[in-house]
Amino acid sequence: MSEYNVINSRATRLDAPAKATGKAVYIDDMTLPGMLYGALLQSPLAHARILRIDTSKACKLPGVKSVVTAKDAGLIKYGVSPARYDETLFCHDKVRYVGDEIAAVAAVDLATALEAVSLIQVDCEELPAVLDIDAAMADGAPVLHNDYPGNVCAEVHAEFGDVEAALKTCDLVRTTTFKNKRQDAAFIEPQGCLANYDLSGNLTLYSSTQVPHYVQRTLSMVLQLPIGRVRVVKPYVGGGFGIKAAANHMELAACLLSMKTGKPVKMNFTREQVFTYGRARHQFIHTMTTGVKKDGTIVALKHQCHLDGGAYSSFGIATVYYSGSLLGGPYKLPNMKYDGYRIYTNKPACGAQRGHGGVAARACWEQQLDMIAEELKMDPAEFRLKNIMVAGDVTCNDLNMSSLGMKECIEAIRDGSDWKSKKGKLPKGKGIGMACGFFVSGAGYPIYRSDTYHGTVMVKLTEDGGKALVYTASAEIGQGSDTTFAMIVAEAMGIRLEDVRLESGDTDFGVDLGAYSSRQTLMTGHAAKEAAEDVKKQVLDVLSKELNVPVSDMDIRNSFVVFKKDNVDFSGLRTRYIKEHRGWTDNPQSGPLTFTEAARIAYLAKGSIVGTGKYKPPQLGGKYKGAAVGTSPAYGCSAQVAEVTVDMETGQITVDNITDAHDCGRAINVTSVEAQMVGSVSMGLGEALFEEVKFDNKGHVINADLSEYKIPTMLDMPSVKPIIVESDEPNGPFGAKEVGEGAIMPTIPAILNAVYDAIGVRIHELPLTPERVWQAICDCQKEK
């Protein structure tokens, strides 16, 4: 039995009934009176110099209300990391990838807007394009951005300990190179937005975004509007996974068109545009050299990584740091050296996707660790347990594992999968493999330098009592955060979940950095708890005065006031309450004093009762360059076992089942924790087995749809056994921390290790298509 009344249980999500009945409103379900429709002109060439843009024909088309280009938008640079703002709303001198934005049109309907786009004439001079890392880094390669010669967007060099010296002390040193492919997040709802610039000069943008706050700031900066006149509101969002975690061109263009026309403007990406906008997982090429002692002690890791970044920086500066820093744990590793390079290419920009920067690195290393364990004749579970960090350990790059159930996770999957009776004992074509991983519970610092709180929450009691209204600017994008915060507020106030109503996703409600880096449960959760405690205290303070009972002798539980000591006569308060509400059906007649009555009495004494909460992490991390990336108040961790069957004739892999343990601190909503765990596995499984955004030699995405870009269907997903390993995270609200991204870390390497167990060949490139697996089997047979 849980010691909690609301959290740490299986709650039905607040938004589920609306979503089950089609009543939940997403961006494309919205309309505003007089609304226009926008469309974008995007480059058909991967690299070209713009000579002239002629919009005259488009402007003359009946029904067209505005056509805008860089001339109207200006050339203010923006992006994600202020250190690398390299985009403008529209291209003016060059286009740098197929899909780069050149102009936008608003018209009375979409067909007219699209026709107008086709009437815009752009004269340009095609330039040679670089479509992969080697081409981009070659001597004399065409340069995308003049400020970045050699097309190096960012490089990172970091060393902790002395890797070369440490490797010399090792008994076994192994080097491997590993490659993943560019992935697309493939959320089912394409991005869309609706901009409304009103007659008083206020701009409201409704958008399918994960980060209303950052979008608000970008709009204000690029469109040169005072921030107080910009509001961003997020309706229900159909998934984001990182890609919707920054302002996009369409949002900016819709706002500009609304400002020009004085009308609301709606714009949507088609599925193809989702792919050409990109901003999802990079392609990484990792080379890792790991050294260990005979007894299995990991001593050093030398790591080099190249990222194919696409045409702009997007989140990539953080990505290139993360892909190094996230190997600091969960194993004790005293010496680590990292050299990372993010390279510009003439393709859509890559950005952040679930498990930001760490997924391919983790896949490479966890497979290599298995190879090393095999050479040492150690069981992979024992090898990992030997090196595992525990709560209180700090990584060589200064990440503090304030709680860490990694050991418990490994033990849970080992026992839960019957590992001991299967490992090394399965017939040819069947295999079992395991892997681990961890992730931040929220980035330790905002994307822009600031002392801002990362989240603020307001709880207001309805004046007639009875309900707590929660206002948070955080972003419910499908992960279940609204329900999580309602549960936290209910728990902290001592009221029932049904007595809480919650509104979120609106920059008018406060500051919240949004849904990325798995931050909301811990950070927004803290603010929600503090706001709830504030309200509770205000109510109890009034009661204390009215009844002459010390606050310490009272509590609120289950929406009733509890007097801890003697019976207290509150009949006077009850009579007052009932007098105020003559004729109401729910007036309390007998029984204990209700929270509703107490809230009304508090209002009569003080006016509206509003509590506020806020959170920002303490100073975190080391002092070296880039030390901020990877810091977090807490880390979630995961271990998984995959079991696979490989058809030795065709190379076809079937994942038979996954056993998945995750330490999420204290689970707030158990159902949602499991949902994140299984969802993470499915995204990892897709990347492991089939997902790859492919290009032709002109830089066009050739599989920009959901039939040729394959994500797992119900027939591909195995049954997953989720095991929640709880810990009590000292920095989390009620001990809670992340689950949404740590849970994807072990999936790919667990499958890789299982495939090796099944076929006896290591594969160092994703995805594990039948061709690739079959080829690997053949190559290996030839060698023998």
Partner 1 sequence: MKKLIRLTVNDREYDVAVLPNQTLVDVIRYELGLTGAKKGCEMGDCGSCTVLMDGKPVNSCLVLAMQAAGRKIQTIEGIETENGLHPVQEAFVQKGAIQCGFCSSGMILTAKSLLDKNPNPTEQDIRKSLSGNLCRCTGYQHIIEAVKSVTP
Nearer to ligand FES, 13 or 84 (CB): 13
Compute how many other C-beta atoms are within 10 angstroms of the C-beta atom of residue 479. 24
- DSSP E strands in 407-520: the ranges are 430-440, 455-461, 468-472, 500-504
Within the chain, what is the greatest distance between any pair of CA atoms?
Answer: 92
Of 594, 592, 591, 613, nearest to 602 (Cα)? 594
Nearest approach, Cβ of residue 242 and ligand FES (Å) = 15
Please work out, in degrees rounded to the nearest 5, the angle formed at the alpha carbon of residue 240 by the alpha carbons of 629 and 671. 95
Coil, helix or strand at residue 286: strand
* Interface of this chain with partner 1, residues 269 to 288, rule: CB under 8 A: 270-271
Nearest approach, Cβ of residue 563 and partner 1 (Å) = 36
DSSP secondary-structure letter at 143?
-
Nearer to ligand FES, 239 or 446 (CB): 239
Kindly state whether residue 711 participates in binding partner 1, applying the rule CB under 8 A: yes
* Interface of this chain with partner 1, residues 135 to 194, rule: CB under 8 A: 185-190
Nearer to ligand FES, 531 or 675 (CB): 675
* Interface of this chain with ligand FES, residues 451 to 490, rule: CB under 6 A: 478
* Interface of this chain with ligand FES, residues 273 to 302, rule: CB under 6 A: none
Which tokens in the block code for residue 147?
A: 């400020």
Nearest approach, Cβ of residue 705 and partner 1 (Å) = 6
* Interface of this chain with partner 1, residues 27 to 46, rule: CB under 8 A: 28-29
Nearest approach, Cβ of residue 722 and ligand FES (Å) = 17
Of 279, 275, 207, nearest to 242 (Cα)? 279
Q: Which of 75, 83, 188, 562 binds ligand FES (CB under 6 A)?
A: 188
**# of chain residues touching ligand FES (CB under 6 A):** 4
Of 349, 356, 26, 348, nearest to 189 (Cα)? 26
Give the CA count within 13 Å in the CB-facing half-sphere of 237.
Answer: 34
Asked if residues 69 and 141 have their Cβ atoms less than 8 Å apart, the reply is no
**# of chain residues touching partner 1 (CB under 8 A):** 55
Kindly state whether residue 239 participates in binding ligand FES, applying the rule CB under 6 A: yes
Please work out, in degrees rounded to the nearest 5, the angle formed at the alpha carbon of residue 205 by the alpha carbons of 476 and 64. 135
Nearest approach, Cβ of residue 36 and ligand FES (Å) = 24
Compute how many other C-beta atoms are within 10 angstroms of the C-beta atom of residue 463. 14
Nearest approach, Cβ of residue 308 and ligand FES (Å) = 27
Kindly state whether residue 24 participates in binding partner 1, applying the rule CB under 8 A: yes
Please work out, in degrees rounded to the nearest 5, the angle formed at the alpha carbon of residue 209 by the alpha carbons of 462 and 358. 115
DSSP secondary-structure letter at 157?
E
Asked if residues 212 and 228 have their Cβ atoms less than 8 Å apart, the reply is no
Contacts of residues 147-152 at CB distance under 8 Å and 24 or more positions apart, as own/partner, are 147/86, 148/344, 151/343, 151/344, 151/345, 152/341, 152/342, 152/343, 152/344
Residue 77 contact among partner 1, ligand FES, none, beta carbon within 5 to 8 Å by kind: none
Nearest approach, Cβ of residue 360 and partner 1 (Å) = 19
Q: Which of 4, 9, 26, 262 binds partner 1 (CB under 8 A)?
A: 26
Nearest approach, Cβ of residue 17 and partner 1 (Å) = 6
Asked if residues 722 and 678 have their Cβ atoms less than 8 Å apart, the reply is yes
Q: Which amino acid is at 681?
A: V
Nearest approach, Cβ of residue 707 and ligand FES (Å) = 10
Name the segment binding partner 1 (CB under 8 A); options: 145-153, 513-521, 595-603, 667-675: 667-675
Nearer to partner 1, 530 or 741 (CB): 741
* Interface of this chain with ligand FES, residues 601 to 620, rule: CB under 6 A: none
Where does this chain bind partner 1 (CB under 8 A)?
10, 12-13, 15-26, 28-29, 185-190, 236-239, 241, 270-271, 477-480, 671-672, 674-675, 678-683, 705-707, 711-715, 717, 719-720
Where does this chain bind ligand FES (CB under 6 A)?
188, 238-239, 478
